[in-house]
Structure 1
Amino acid sequence: MGTHDMQGFGLWGLAFVNAAIFILFALSFFKPQSARDWRSFSAFSAFLVALFAEMYGFPLTIYLFSGWLQSHYPGVNWFSHDAGHLLEMMFGWRVNPHFGPFHMASFVLIGAGFWLISAGWAVLHAAQQNRAMATTGIYERLRHPQYVGFIMVLTGFLLQWPTLLTVVMYPVLVVMYVRLARHEEQAAIAEFGDAYRDYMAQTGGFFPRWHSESAR
């Protein structure tokens, strides 16, 4: 496997810069405060580092599965940078993977995810300042918009550039966010009692619960 075959890889500086940009971007929205916040953010950051290390550094996933990929998809140069968009390649999108359906869907998920993280933090921060429940804005529909946002961002990146390590990390992170959400709910019940139980009955946790105003 020569240097010519690995065009678009070995760019470790670019991998570092991209990982740093997205991590700092998420940090500016999420603003972790508790130890739990930092654990969830650290896991998210590790996912991004693993992703960009393969996207611009060394394509470990393609290297490990190159034999199988080449035998099943012989028309693809699997060591070109574009081939890292595995889903586009495997589903036959050969024109430009950056405009493929999975890539475009990833942009929507990543953008919406960061918006949720930002919108959730603004409401949560204001509530914490007043030692009150966060029930306005996006919290009128979701109890855990920031965790939903992180999962959407992770899903978007996974669609855009799936790798062996990130595929393994993804369900672990999702389970971690669900468990953190459940822990936070128990803490909120301990602090706010029936008021938070009523809020839980009216509001979805990870999926919005749509109902009419008259039904509330």
Structure 2
Amino acid sequence: MADAAYGLWPLVVLNTLLFIAFAASFFHPKSKRDWRAMGAYSAFLVALFTEMYGIPLTVYLLGSWLGSRFPLLQDTHAGGHLWNDLTGWSGDPHLSPFHLVSYAAIGCGFWLIATAWKTLHAAAQRDELATTGAYAWVRHPQYDGFLLIMIGFLLQWPTIPTLLMFPVLLHVYARLARSEEREVAQRFGEQWTAYAADTPAFWPRRPRHPADRRTPRAPARR
């Protein structure tokens, strides 16, 4: 192989386990639904690191097709930074705009998972519905955190398998969210209905001030 950075299967295993353990320490999976969310994230990491350090399948597939037009697209470790190659970035790939944004997205993703878990855990201890912190902006901040991490890795090291997996994982998380909401709705009833009507599921929106959450006035009597 042209680059010794590939075929490093111990690094594939090490990085995969490291990021899975790191996410689990923030997410604290307990229920079957939690483990399914972790499983989807883990599958993404396996596909990612297999190409990053194992077999550069995407580079092989695209190299013969785009190689003449994009000479940097070759079976080397640097060739895996596809966005840099396709846009002509010639500097250090780890300092490209794509990488810098990816670092921010991954960091924000882990932060969101951690801070949302703290809010959720505190609410569970009081047997209350979590509606503060990140949950005031969006109903499923932890799933958003996982998606941010995946988007960060796609900006950093896109591959054909992970690009194909991402919309599938969006569907998986949407299904898990709907299942979770059905259970929470049964438990909290009207409180959940009011919260869900005012808070988006995945796309965050600035929470309204309590004074703006006015109930409609009754019609004036004649």
Instruction: Please state which band the TM-score falls in when normalised by the shorter chain.
Output: over 0.9
Matched, 1:59 2:56: yes
User: What's the TM-score, normalizing by structure 1?
Assistant: 0.94
Aligned to 1:38: 35
Match of residue 82 from structure 1: 78
Question: Contact conserved, 1:29 with 1:121, CA < 8 A, in 2?
Answer: yes
Moved over 4 A (4+): none
How many equivalent pairs are there? 212
What's the CA shift string for 1:179-202, capped at 9, x where partnerless? 111221121111111101111122
Please identify which structure carries the higher helix content: 1
Aligned to 2:99, which of 98, 103, 106? 103
- The residue type paired with residue 7 of structure 1 is A
Query: Following the alignment from structure 1 to structure 2, what is the Cα–Cα distance between the partners of residues 73 and 65?
Result: 10
Shift of 1:204: 2.1
Mapped to 2, the partners of 1:113 and 1:65 lie a distance apart of 30
- What RMSD, in angstroms, separates the aligned Cα atoms of the two structures? 1.3
Q: Tell me how far 1:128 sits from its aligned partner.
A: 2.0
Q: Is 1:94 paired with 2:94?
A: no
Cα distance in 1 for residues equivalent to 2:171 and 2:10? 32
Q: d(CA) in 2 for partners of 1:46 and 1:113? A: 17
Cα distance per residue 1:95-115 (max 9 Å; x no partner): 111111111111111000111
Task: Look at both structures and tell me which one has the larger radius of gyration over its CA atoms.
Answer: 2
Find out whether 1:15 has 2:18 as its counterpart: no
Shift of 1:211: 4.8
Pairwise CA distance, 1:17? 1.1
**Deviation, structure 1 residue 203:** 1.6
What letter corresponds to residue 45 of structure 2 in structure 1?
L
Which whole-Å deviations, capped at 9, do the CAs of 1:63-115 have from their partners, x for residues lacking one? 122201212213x1511211101001100101111111111111111000111
Residue matched to 1:196? 192
Contact 2:112 2:145 in 1 (8 A): yes
Partner of 1:24: 21
Tell which deviates more after alignment, 106-115 or 56-65.
56-65
Cα-to-partner distance string for 1:17-55 (whole Å, 9 max, x where unaligned): 111111100000111111111111011011101101110
Q: 142, 153, 163: which is aligned to 1:167?
A: 163
Asked whether the equivalents of residues 98 and 156 of structure 2 are also in contact (C-alpha less than 8 Å), the reply is yes
Q: How does 1:141-152 map to 2 (within 5 A)?
A: 141-152=137-148
Of 69, 79, 93 in structure 2, the residue corresponding to residue 72 of structure 1 is 69
Q: Structure 1: where are the runs of 5+ without partners?
A: none
SS at match of 2:202: coil
TM-score of the superposed pair, with normalisation by structure 2? 0.91
- Structure-2 separation of matches of 1:145 and 1:211: 14
Alignment of 1:180 with 2:204, yes or no, is: no
Residues 69 and 78, structure 1, Cα contact 8 Å, conserved in 2 = no
Unaligned runs of 5+ in 2: 214-222
Relative to structure 1, is the Cα distance of residues 7 and 69 closer, same or farther in structure 2, using a 3 angstrom cutoff?
Answer: farther
Q: Tell me how far apart the structure 1 counterparts of residues 20 and 164 of structure 2 sit (CA, whole Å).
A: 20
